[in-house]
Amino acid sequence: MTRTTRFLAGLLPASALLVLAALPCSAREVLTPEEQAERELEQKRQAQPVLVCSPKSLSASVTRGDTQRLRLTIRNAGGRTLGWVATFWPNWARLTTDSGELGFQKEQVVYVTIDTTRLPTGRTRGQIIL
């Protein structure tokens, strides 16, 4: 006796449905620790750039005629490329550069020199805005 299975258009026999249901819905990718670390690094590279300045504030004690040079480090703590511009600083401060571009995890040193001939008498404060 031969057994015949008949199909209706668009339908599978019950035995075929059981086999299909037993198959995994999606394959899980298995990465080595090195591949996983590379993937995480690439995700960080594609993240938004993050501007970090260090130190957070600069301080100096100068007298007229002295020159004081202070170090400011600007760093991209995020991903992609960070374009930065110093949009404001006091007239008594000179910057070695007022703009730059930093790639992923890169940094740039900017020196701030205080021009004491332009410094007002007494204690003063100023801001550098990036």
Q: Residue 112: which of 59, 36, 47, 51 has the closest Cα?
A: 59
What pLDDT digit, counting tens, does each position of 111-123 carry? 999 988 888 888 8
Question: What mean pLDDT value characterizes the chain?
Answer: 81
Mean pLDDT value of segment 78-97: 92
Cβ burial 50-61 (10 Å sphere, 16+ → b, else e): eeeeeeeeeeee
pLDDT of 106 strictly over 60: yes
* DSSP letter assigned to residue 103: -
Confidence class for position 83, pLDDT limits 50, 70, 90? very high
Check: pTM over 0.85? Answer yes or no: no
Residue 115, phi then psi, degrees to nearest 5: -90, 100
Residue 19, phi then psi, degrees to nearest 5: -65, -45
Structure tokens at 59: 């301080």
DSSP track, 41-95: HHHHHTSPP-EEEESSS------TT-EEEEEEEEEE-SSS-EEEE--B--TTEEE
Structure tokens at 28: 């899980």
**Which pLDDT value is given to residue 71?**
96
